[in-house]
């Protein structure tokens, strides 16, 4: 497997399978782990970072789950490739910004990925389509156990897993669920929902990561607290909250259908029409229209297109993806044209 193959693949998390795939795009768990007796990355020099990298790689090489993985040194990648991996939700901006001694490991289908020497020595991420944090937890904990057999993790009986930032200490686990909530937005209930989420100590972010605005009506909801509760408790808490949000979105969709189906059909079909026909389109407009199209598919108003294609487009319309697809650098105006042509090609437009 090579980095170049990724562009033609769709990550498993985008395939529109799994529970509640009409509302839940994907579920994700992230574990932070550090090696004992090594400084945290921000305190380590280059030599130490490389040694940490080597130690972790050696351990992974013996673990079957990493058999088909790709190991990428961030320093070896150009800017487009780094941006490309960020766009695929496989690594953070921070990981790309200061690449020395950093690496990224990605499994086939992109279910499993590990950032080495980001804020912590290891950030293990498991991401799958649909609403299934427990299944993902099983995957993550198995890998964690395998790694723990070969690596000496920084762990305190009192505090749990030790991390570079104290907010992660404890389980060092963050679970997050990417929800598509167009009906809560259209019925203007979303702020009430987000306020409730925040009061319960959960965070909400946009589709395109930390610090991004919600776009395309996507909301990534994750736990903030990782200390004082077991992993299972944290997952149960997230699940309970997410189930409520799903129910509210479903009610809002039914209310829209009942009260104003023609308006909804109009909005959805127009979005489809513009996506099929635009020759120049910004990413902002694209995600808004794709969101309506996704809703249309979920509500069976649009029947001739697979949700997987739409999910995948949310990723592929980003700048680095467009440039990888085109095989060269594109300026903003070129990208707006390439984006439109890609969309027409994928959804059968004019």
Binding site for a copy of itself (CB under 8 A): 262-263, 265-266, 269-270, 272-281, 337, 340, 349-350
Kindly tell me which of 161 and 272 has the beta carbon lying closer to a copy of itself. Answer: 272
Nearer to a copy of itself, 36 or 263 (CB): 263
Q: Which residues contact 295 (CB under 8 A, 6 or more apart)?
A: 180, 182, 183, 253, 268
- Least gap, CB of 264 to a copy of itself (angstroms): 9
Distance CA 159, CA 270 (A): 54
Min dist. Cβ of residue 337 to a copy of itself (A): 6
290: nearest Cα among 340, 220, 221? 340
CB of 349 to a copy of itself, least distance (A): 8
- Of the pair 116, 343, the CB lying nearest a copy of itself is at 343
Strand order in the sheet with 173-180: 70-73, 103-106, 112-116, 122-129, 24-33, 173-180, 218-223, 202-205
For a copy of itself, the closer of residues 47 and 328 by Cβ is 328
Phi-psi domain of 149 (left: phi exceeds 0; alpha: psi -120 through 50; beta: other): alpha
Q: Which is nearer to a copy of itself, 99 or 349 (CB)?
A: 349
Q: How far is the CB of 308 from a copy of itself (least distance, A)?
A: 21
Alpha helix (H) ranges present in the chain? 3-6, 46-61, 79-87, 93-97, 133-150, 182-186, 190-199, 231-277, 283-298, 307-316, 319-326, 332-347
Provide the token pair at 298: 């979920």
> Least Å distance between CB 313 and a copy of itself?
16
Nearer to a copy of itself, 222 or 271 (CB): 271
Determine contact, residues 84/320, Cβ cutoff 8 Å: yes
Residue 279 Cβ vs a copy of itself, minimum distance, rounded to whole Å: 4
């Amino acid at each position: 497997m090579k980095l170049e193959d990724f562009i033609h693949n769709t990550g498993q998390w985008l395939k529109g399978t799994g529970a509640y795939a009409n509302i839940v795009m994907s579920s994700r768990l992230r574990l932070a782990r550090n090696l004992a007796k090594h400084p945290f990355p921000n305190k380590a020099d280059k030599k130490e970072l490389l040694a940490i990298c080597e130690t972790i790689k050696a351990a992974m090489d013996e673990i079957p789950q990493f058999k088909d993985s790709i190991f990428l040194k961030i320093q070896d990648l150009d800017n487009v490739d780094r941006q490309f991996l960020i766009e695929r939700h496989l690594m953070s901006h921070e990981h790309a910004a200061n690449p020395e001694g950093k690496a990224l490991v990605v499994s086939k289908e992109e279910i499993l990925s590990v950032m080495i020497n980001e804020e912590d020595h290891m950030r293990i991420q498991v991401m799958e389509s649909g609403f299934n944090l427990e299944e993902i937890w099983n995957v993550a904990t198995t890998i964690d156990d395998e790694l723990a057999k070969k690596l000496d993790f920084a762990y305190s009986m009192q505090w749990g897993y030790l991390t570079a930032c104290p907010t992660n200490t404890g389980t060092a686990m963050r679970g997050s669920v990417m929800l598509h909530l167009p009906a809560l937005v259209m019925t203007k209930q979303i702020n009430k929902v987000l306020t409730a989420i925040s009061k319960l100590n959960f965070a909400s972010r946009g589709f395109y990561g930390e610090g991004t605005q919600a776009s395309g009506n996507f909301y990534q909801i994750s736990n903030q607290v990782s200390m004082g509760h077991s992993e299972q408790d944290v997952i149960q808490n997230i699940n309970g909250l997410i189930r409520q949000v799903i129910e509210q979105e479903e009610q809002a969709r039914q209310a829209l259908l009942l009260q104003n189906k023609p308006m909804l059909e109009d909005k959805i079909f127009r979005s489809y029409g513009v996506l099929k026909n635009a020759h120049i389109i910004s990413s902002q407009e694209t995600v808004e229209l794709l969101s309506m199209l996704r809703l249309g598919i979920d509500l069976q108003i649009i029947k001739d297109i697979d949700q997987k294609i739409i999910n995948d487009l949310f990723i592929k319309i980003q700048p680095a993806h467009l440039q990888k697809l085109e095989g060269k650098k594109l300026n903003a105006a070129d990208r707006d044209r390439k984006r439109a042509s890609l969309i027409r090609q994928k959804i059968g437009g004019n």
